[in-house]
Amino acid sequence: MTGSELTPLVATLWVLNVLVDSGGQLAFKAAAGDPRAGDGLARWVWMARRPWLWIGVGCYVAEFLLWLAFLSLVPLSEGVLLGSINIVAIMLAGRYLFAERLSPLRVAGILLISVGVAIVGWQG
């Protein structure tokens, strides 16, 4: 990485960031996608009483702290590119946890993002 190395600390922060950010997105989807939630204000009250919403909020607080720590060790341009792997993790998890469709175009996007992240991480 230009100006920094992919040290064990940087790699750990990166992986934790991906896991926590993805976990937050998935928790919010679980909270918002509950068919028992109803409509309007009743939906928000329902979600506020369920743990998924608060797990998502907790994940976002943790992700914020991990992201700051990660960015303190890598250049912003590289950090943002490496962070884009979250998109891949979320799309794959959405497929397996929520039966969301992965079209050929989305699979192509996953592959392109993965290759781009690999190039940025390998560039060293």
Which tens digits make up the pLDDT trace of 4-31? 577 899 999 999 999 999 999 999 999 9
Q: Is residue 34 part of a domain?
A: yes
All residues at 6 or more sequence positions from 53 whose CB lies less than 8 Å from its CB, including other chains: 27, 28, 31, 47
Q: Is residue 77 part of a domain?
A: yes
pLDDT at 1 over 60: no
Q: Is residue 1 part of a domain?
A: no
pLDDT at 41 over 80: yes
pLDDT at 113 over 70: yes
Instruction: Name the residue range of residue 59's domain.
Output: 8-123
Q: Is residue 70 part of a domain?
A: yes
Q: Is residue 75 part of a domain?
A: yes
Q: Count the neighbouring beta carbons within 10 Å of the beta carbon of residue 6.
A: 17
- Give the model's confidence band at 124: pLDDT under 50 very low, under 70 low, under 90 confident, else very high: low
Predicted TM-score (pTM) above 0.85 = no
Domain count for the chain: 1
Q: How high is the pLDDT of residue 4?
A: 57
Q: Is residue 27 part of a domain?
A: yes
Q: Is residue 119 part of a domain?
A: yes
